[in-house]
């Protein structure tokens, strides 16, 4: 999740060929719910949420794309 708009998210997904969508967090409500908001800033946090709706993996900072995709694949197999 990040505060940028749908066009930015679309470009990012296309650039890395992600097989999943990225959420647009207009207003920052999701960032606050997941403890990623810090006053006016958003701390980079990546969550992989499984088909069952549970958080399967999370990272602060900027994980490698291969790490994210590996967690998505694992979550999909468990789901």
Sign of the dihedral through C-alpha 24, 30, 34, 39? positive
Mean pLDDT of 20-41: 76
| Region for residue 53 given its phi and psi (left: phi exceeds 0; alpha: psi -120 to 50; beta: otherwise) | left
| Domain region containing 72 | 6-78
Strand partners, 24: 2
73 in any annotated domain: yes
| Residue 12: predicted pLDDT | 87
Mean pLDDT of 31-35: 78
Mean pLDDT of 2-31: 82
CATH number at residue 10: 3.40.30.10
Look at the chain and report how many structural domains it folds into. 1
Q: What is the pTM of this model?
A: 0.60
| Region for residue 35 given its phi and psi (left: phi exceeds 0; alpha: psi -120 to 50; beta: otherwise) | left
41 in any annotated domain: yes
């Amino acid at each position: 999740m990040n505060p940028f708009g749908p066009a930015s998210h679309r470009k990012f997904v296309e650039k890395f060929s992600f097989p999943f969508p990225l959420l647009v967090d207009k207003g920052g409500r999701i960032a606050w719910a997941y403890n990623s908001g810090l006053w006016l800033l958003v701390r980079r946090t990546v969550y992989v949420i499984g088909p069952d709706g549970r958080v399967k993996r999370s990272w602060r900072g900027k994980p490698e794309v291969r790490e994210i995709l590996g967690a998505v694949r694992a979550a999909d197999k468990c789901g």
